[in-house]
């Protein structure tokens, strides 16, 4: 059965009245690349004035919460650190508080500075990542560089625009030679939307490490419930009074469904209309659909 498409002020108000906590995807819901979705700032300000909790939930593994806040500040959206929850932070939380990652071990990072910053905030030692020796690799290959390192207790993969053969080979070496070394992915997104198009995402960049190591990774980000477990541990809200808002069926909407939280799909992102209302719709069905999250701004207007 197709989900209801919300269009009227009355439908918007009924939905908003039923929600205390809004879990919001970012790119595709709040902004498209460098542009804020029309009406969104009004909506966020209205919700804050009403005392509703806002949590920006993104699979972006390159940005720390501090950097996510800077992004929102530059867009004039005024987010707080507490409102920001990315897969980089969630991965650090999981390592520190769920896996109790040993103090004498380090994480080999296939990722960027934002991920390293979050590991630092929990006192987790790490290598790889932005290290010039790995980042600036150029052939020929020095095979002696790929030696086992017993101090590496986890390989953590995120989006890494500096991905190269050396990083992949090192990661595989640590995983192959130490059965207790854990393989973690911040997310498995095959693509990500930006500047009006789609580009290779974290999952596409790290698939070579997954395939070569023959390991089943622990995936933290959406749609996996690990992300929601971390959010709930930090924010303590009632899931029955929460709503996950996103533009992607396979990440945002399945994330809500996997966490037993209602979902709102907004159009204009990565999900075409026929996947919801076509002749052969997706098996992933959101609770509600609307054109744009910014359309809720009508509720801030006087009747």
Q: Which residues are catalytic?
A: 25, 27
Nearest to 169 by CA among 95, 110, 106: 110
Distance CA(122)–CA(303), nearest Å, equals 49
Q: Please check whether residue 75 is in contact with residue 68, taking contact to mean a CB–CB distance below 8 angstroms.
A: no
Strand duo 125-128 + 106-110: pairing:
parallel
Q: Which residues are annotated as a binding site for substrate?
A: 222
State the binding site for Mg(2+).
25, 27, 247
Which segments are annotated as binding site?
25, 27, 222, 247
Q: Quote the CA–CA distance of 256 and 222 in Å, as a whole number.
A: 9
Dihedral class, residue 72 (left if φ above 0, else alpha if ψ from -120 to 50, else beta)? alpha
Q: Cα separation of 178 and 182, whole Å?
A: 9
State how far the Cα of 53 lies from the Cα of 77, in Å rounded to an integer. Answer: 15
* Distance from C-alpha of 288 to C-alpha of 271, rounded to nearest angstrom: 14
């Amino acid at each position: 059965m197709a989900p209801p498409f919300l269009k009227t002020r009355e439908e918007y108000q009924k939905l908003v009245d039923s929600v205390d906590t809004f879990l919001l995807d970012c790119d595709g819901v709040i902004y498209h690349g460098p542009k804020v979705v029309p009406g969104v700032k009004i909506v966020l300000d209205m919700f804050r004035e009403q005392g509703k909790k806002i949590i920006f939930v993104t699979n972006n593994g390159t940005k720390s919460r501090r950097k996510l806040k800077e992004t929102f500040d530059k867009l004039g959206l005024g987010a707080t650190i507490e409102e920001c929850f990315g897969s980089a932070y969630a991965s650090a939380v999981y390592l520190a508080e769920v896996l109790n990652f040993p103090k004498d071990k380090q994480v080999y990072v296939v990722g960027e500075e934002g991920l390293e910053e979050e590991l630092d905030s929990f006192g987790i030692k790490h290598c790889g990542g932005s290290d010039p020796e790995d980042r600036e690799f150029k052939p020929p290959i020095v095979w002696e560089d790929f030696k086992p390192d017993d101090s590496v207790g986890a390989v953590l993969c995120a989006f890494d625009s500096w991905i190269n053969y050396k990083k992949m080979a090192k990661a595989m070496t640590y995983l192959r030679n130490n059965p207790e070394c854990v393989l973690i992915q911040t997310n498995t997104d095959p693509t990500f939307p930006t500047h009006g198009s789609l580009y290779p995402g974290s999952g596409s960049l790290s698939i070579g490490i997954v395939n070569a190591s023959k390991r089943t990774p622990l995936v933290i980000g959406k749609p996996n419930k690990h992300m929601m477990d971390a959010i709930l541990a930090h924010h303590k809200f009632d899931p029955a009074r929460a709503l996950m808002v996103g533009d992607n069926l396979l990440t945002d909407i399945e994330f809500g469904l996997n966490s037993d939280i209602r979902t709102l799909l907004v159009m204009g992102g990565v999900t075409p209309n026929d996947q919801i209302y076509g002749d052969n719709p997706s098996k992933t069905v959101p609770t509600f659909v609307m054109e744009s999250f910014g359309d809720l701004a009508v509720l801030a207007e006087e009747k």
